[in-house]
Amino acid sequence: AALSTYDGFDDPENPVPVVQIGERLHVSELYHGPTRAFKDTALQPFGVVLSGLAQARDEHYLIMAATSGDTGPAALDTFRNKPNIKVACLYPDGGTSDVQRLQMVTEDAANLKVIGIHGNFDDAQAALKGLLGSERFCTTLVEKHTQLSAANSVNFGRIIFQLIYHLHSYLELVRQGHIELGEKVYLVVPSGNFGNALGGYYAWRMGLPVEKIVIASNANNVLTDLIHTGVYDLRQRKLIGTSSPAMDILKSSNVERVLFHLFGAERTRELMRELDEEQHYQLSGDELQAMQSLFCADFCSDDEGKAYIKEYFEQGYLMDPHTATCMKAHASCCDQPLHAIVYSTAEWTKFSPTIANALTGERDAHDIDALKTIARLANTEIPARIGELFSKPITQTTLVDKEDIEKEVLAFI
């Protein structure tokens, strides 16, 4: 049977619409999946393939995820009621938006477990790593013939699916008559762990005509510095909470994969060791040049991002705060008269308080108020699958201290 990999999207025949918002400016909307953020573009097909393989080979998997908001809902959705698969998802209580939390705690499938923890995202991630290193935990998995997998973009299975939409978006510009096949374009990517950008890099290696991959960041601008100066430096940095929280990352894990392709295994190991031990590394002049021949970067403050949201809204396009970080990088990097594809990674419904604030200057107390504000201003409806979250019963009520996570997960499996 054909794999129905994009069935959960608004239009399974065209899961990623590409729309024009400026003369040579296009938005590739990656958020039309079930959880309204770009994680679905990879995790929906990944779920179909992994559960298909697990059944064919009679294997059982436990998927672990620690989430700051978007990966958790996407991982839960894709594996809901899938045979041979269980998901345990850790989130920081109070560390996600209302919509993100409700997407997780209203999940009622028996193969899904959502665990809120007292602590922040780093605590959730550290707890996950602790679990993976626990002998009792690993022994239990072996006894239960269960293999472990992860739902974040360290998992290469996700990256493979993330190069498809780069190819698709380019071909869409050709089909829409904006460019000739072979004409170069800019790819403008709002980046955190660099999985989206890495997909663009592989698409380029496969022959996609790309002028530059433009890396957009928020105030956590470690990637901007790397691409401008060749220095990756964590020594003076503290993670800053921004209104594009999915990009609040300092150790961007997929950068290592680009270094590997550009500079080889030995040099990459050396650079990664320096980052681990000394919290910084520096590329040579030649290496920096190689990096800059394909990548360009800029970062955007929260206030600049909100100004872009307002500006584009007044021109008729509603974008989320992650997408908005791209507009500044687009302005500073795209200096050739070529078309640019900006990747939009979340629907307005997922980060509504920031957007409502950008549009009105006021602050709504809760997501539901902000959603209503935006729906009114944009003369649209709150999409049913977001609106209904607020009246769904809460089925996942586990909330524990870090020390009790292992017990909860073991009881679950």
Ligand X SMILES: *Cc1c(COP(=O)(O)O)cnc(C)c1O
Q: Is 224 in the site for ligand X (CB under 6 A)?
A: no
Q: Residue 179 corresponds to which tokens in the numbers above?
A: 């460019």
Q: With residue 72 as reference, give the H or E element that holds it.
A: helix 71-79
**Which residue type, as a one-letter code, is found at position 382?**
I
Least separation in angstroms between residue 323's CB and ligand X is: 8
Q: What angle do CA 101, 105, 108 make, to 5 degrees?
A: 150
**Which positions from 42 to 71 touch ligand X by CB under 6 A, shown as an x/- string?**
----------------------------x-
Q: Is 153 in the site for ligand X (CB under 6 A)?
A: yes
Q: How far is CA 197 from CA 29, 37, 165, 237, 247, in A?
A: 15, 16, 11, 23, 13
Cβ neighbour number for residue 24 with a 10 Å cutoff: 16
In angstroms, what is the minimal distance from the CB of 322 to ligand X?
4
**Contact string (CB under 6 A) for ligand X, positions 234-263, x = contact:** ------------xx----------------
Sites for ligand X among residues 390-409 (CB under 6 A): none
- Answer yes or no: 39 catalytic: yes
Total interface residues for ligand X by CB under 6 A: 17
14: CB partners within 8 A, 6+ apart: none
CB of 326 to ligand X, least distance (A): 10
Region of 34-42, 266-274, 307-315, 375-383 interacting with ligand X (CB under 6 A): 34-42
Nearer to ligand X, 246 or 341 (CB): 246
Measured CA to CA, the distance from residue 339 to residue 328 in angstroms comes to: 16
DSSP 297: E
Encode 46-56: b = buried (16+ Cβ within 10 Å), e = exposed: bbbebbeebee
Q: Does 97 help bind ligand X (rule: CB under 6 A)?
A: no
Footprint of ligand X on 313-352 (CB under 6 A): 322, 345-346
Q: Specify whether the CB–CB gap between 76 and 114 falls below 8 A.
A: yes
Of 26 and 86, nearer to ligand X (C-beta) is: 26
Binding mask 170-199 for ligand X (x = CB under 6 A): --------------------xxxxxxx---
- Supply the residues annotated as catalytic: 39
* List of residues contacting ligand X (CB under 6 A): 37-39, 70, 153, 190-196, 246-247, 322, 345-346
